[in-house]
């Protein structure tokens, strides 16, 4: 837990020197952990340092930050809100249901126009409900296909020619298996990565979670065909990890960095982990049904301010500090994420040490994001985490599994409209 504050501190204008007053106000914030506690790089350290810097400018605003794992943080904040103890600020995976219930400040109530203008426009738009922005993008990532170049060479595959379509991917997986590779293709449909991995495959097959009008299409024919293909051509042939529906992403990332996985979809963090382990890897655009996928998955995490405590001004000042170029860049640089502001994005693109990230950055403007602006998304995401892995279970019918999730999504959407 990070606490900064001093008795006696007034509110200075953003960027100005601190003044003093009689009382200190404490902001309570809940945040997600992007680090790996096993390696001693928990996000708590970032917030500890940032809060100390913020308090030098605003000694009258204390900030109490509590960091939770990604598996727990959304549920923790939802429980706090339900119990009438909403944090002042939350940095989590979704915002729309809170916005629809009137619990959040809008972004223009919190940030000055220059700070708002620095946000990447596509991500800012993704933070809107009914054309009003409530969610602030906090960090972003896109996905590429990672493959082990050494294992490719061992299997007689050209490391300079990664698979461009599903047929080539299945062929490469068969060659890898024949060469003794334990997991030719890593498929994490466990709770940690299920919504992401599932959507990447759907996009490659010409489907997705919603259509252009925003209507749920989880059980669309294209999505059913996609998972029929994955089951028949990868899972049933033993070309993936044994139980995709119960396998989490980090488990497969660890296996990739130890040289036991031939291919898997990954985000920028995997580059550093693989390089640190001495794995020679390559990256490629996600393969699609007939050729490279038209788009890839884009993921943005969100930060928001709750109205309950009535600390709009103080929350806005802290959020403006969070998005200052040096502070935002420090965070994304430390955790191998993509910036959500123009200023930090340009700085990263110009940094020679971040040249490997440019391919991910190039994909960001055209990436497909989760439908986070739908009020029902938080609950549908939870249903995907718990259920979509069953689409590849032995004897399962993808149409039946996806149809069940579709009905749940439609029910949640109808309930949201009657709030």
CATH of the domain at 236: 3.40.190.10
Are 276 and 305 members of one domain?
no
Question: Structure tokens of 247?
Answer: 């396998």
pLDDT for residue 23 = 67
The residue segments making up the domain with residue 53 are 2-134+299-365
Going by C-alpha positions, the residue among 195, 185, 187 that lies closest to residue 387 is 195
| DSSP 8-state assignment for residue 69 | -
Q: How many CB atoms lie within 10 A of CB 332?
A: 25
Going by C-alpha positions, the residue among 379, 412, 337 that lies closest to residue 139 is 337
Are 162 and 94 members of one domain?
no
Are 194 and 316 members of one domain?
no
Going by C-alpha positions, the residue among 241, 245, 247, 207 that lies closest to residue 224 is 207
Are 341 and 353 members of one domain?
yes
**Is residue 4 a contact partner of residue 63, using CB atoms and an 8 Å limit?**
yes
Are 11 and 147 members of one domain?
no
pLDDT for residue 171 = 98
Region label for 53, one of left (φ > 0), alpha (ψ between -120 and 50) or beta (otherwise): alpha
Are 303 and 281 members of one domain?
no
In whole angstroms, give the CA distance from residue 26 to residue 315. 10
| DSSP 8-state assignment for residue 245 | G
Radius of gyration of the chain (CA): 22
pLDDT for residue 378 = 85
Strand partners, 91: 31, 303
DSSP-derived secondary structure for 274-327: HHHTT--EEEEPPBBSSSB-S--EEEEEEEEEBSTT--HHHHHHHHHHHTSHHH
Are 48 and 66 members of one domain?
yes
Are 108 and 39 members of one domain?
yes
181 contacts: CB under 8 Å, gap ≥ 6? 151, 154, 155, 260, 261, 262
Question: Structure tokens of 110?
Answer: 């919190």
Going by C-alpha positions, the residue among 313, 176, 192, 312 that lies closest to residue 256 is 176
pLDDT for residue 70 = 86
Reduced to 3 states (helix: H, G, I; strand: E, B; else coil), residue 51 is helix
Are 330 and 354 members of one domain?
yes
pLDDT for residue 419 = 65
Are 264 and 172 members of one domain?
yes
pLDDT for residue 37 = 67
Going by C-alpha positions, the residue among 110, 122, 187 that lies closest to residue 340 is 122
**Average pLDDT for consecutive 10-residue bins of the chain (419 residues)?**
37 38 82 81 94 97 95 93 98 93 97 97 91 96 97 98 98 98 97 93 97 95 98 97 94 97 95 94 97 94 97 98 98 93 96 92 91 90 94 93 97 82
Are 258 and 171 members of one domain?
yes
In whole angstroms, give the CA distance from residue 419 to residue 382. 20
Are 79 and 215 members of one domain?
no
Going by C-alpha positions, the residue among 258, 206, 175, 202 that lies closest to residue 384 is 202
**CA 391 to centroid of chain Cα atoms:** 22
Number of domains in the chain: 2
322 contacts: CB under 8 Å, gap ≥ 6? 50, 303, 328
CA–CA distance from 360 to each of 72, 122, 266, 274, 310 (Å)? Answer: 27, 15, 11, 16, 39
> Where does a domain end: 365, 390, 405?
365
Q: What is the dihedral of CA 246, 285, 34, 64, to 10 degrees?
A: -120
Pairing mode, strands 183-186 and 261-266 = parallel
Q: What ranges make up the beta strands (E) of 98-249?
A: 128-129, 132-133, 136-142, 144-148, 183-186
Angle, helices 325-334 vs 312-322, to 10°: value is 60
């Amino acid at each position: 837990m990070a606490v900064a504050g001093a008795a006696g501190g007034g509110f200075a204008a953003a960027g100005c020197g601190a003044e003093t007053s009689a009382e200190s106000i404490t902001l309570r914030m809940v945040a997600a952990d992007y680090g790996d506690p096993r390696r001693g790089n928990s996000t708590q350290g970032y917030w500890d340092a940032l809060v100390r810097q913020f308090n030098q400018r605003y000694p009258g605003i204390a900030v109490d930050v509590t960091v939770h794992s990604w598996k727990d943080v959304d549920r923790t904040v939802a429980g706090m809100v339900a119990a009438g103890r909403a944090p002042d600020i939350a940095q989590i995976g979704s915002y729309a249901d809170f916005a629809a219930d009137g619990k959040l400040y809008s972004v223009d109530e919190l940030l000055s126009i220059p700070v708002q203008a620095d946000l990447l426009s596509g991500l800012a738009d993704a933070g809107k409900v009914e054309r009003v922005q409530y969610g602030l993008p906090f960090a972003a990532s896109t996905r590429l296909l990672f493959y082990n170049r050494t294992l490719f060479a061992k299997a007689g595959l050209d490391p300079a020619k990664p698979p461009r379509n599903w047929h080539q991917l299945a062929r490469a997986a068969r060659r890898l298996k024949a060469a003794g590779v334990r997991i030719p293709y890593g498929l994490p449909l466990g709770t940690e990565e299920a919504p992401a991995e599932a959507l990447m495959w759907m996009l490659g097959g010409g489907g997705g979670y919603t259509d252009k009008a925003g209507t749920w299409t989880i059980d669309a024919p294209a999505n059913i065909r996609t998972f029929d293909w994955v089951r028949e051509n990868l899972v049933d042939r033993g070309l993936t990890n044994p139980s995709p529906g119960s396998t989490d992403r980090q488990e497969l990332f660890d296996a990739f960095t130890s040289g036991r996985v031939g291919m898997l979809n990954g985000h920028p963090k995997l580059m550093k982990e693989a390089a640190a382990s001495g794995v020679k890897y390559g990256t490629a655009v996600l393969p699609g049904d007939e050729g490279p996928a038209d788009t890839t998955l884009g993921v943005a995490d969100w930060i928001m301010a709750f109205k309950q405590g009535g600390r709009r001004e103080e929350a806005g000042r802290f959020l403006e500090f969070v998005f200052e170029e040096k502070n935002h860049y420090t965070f994304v640089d430390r955790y191998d994420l993509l910036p959500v502001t123009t200023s930090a994005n340009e700085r990263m693109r110009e940094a020679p040490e971040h040249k490997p990230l440019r391919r991910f950055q190039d994909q960001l403007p055209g990436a497909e994001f989760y439908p986070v602006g739908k009020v029902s998304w938080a609950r549908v995401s939870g249903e995907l985490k718990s259920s979509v892995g069953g689409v590849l279970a032995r004897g399962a019918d993808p149409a039946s599994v996806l149809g069940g999730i579709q009905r749940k999504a439609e029910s949640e959407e109808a309930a949201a409209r009657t709030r």
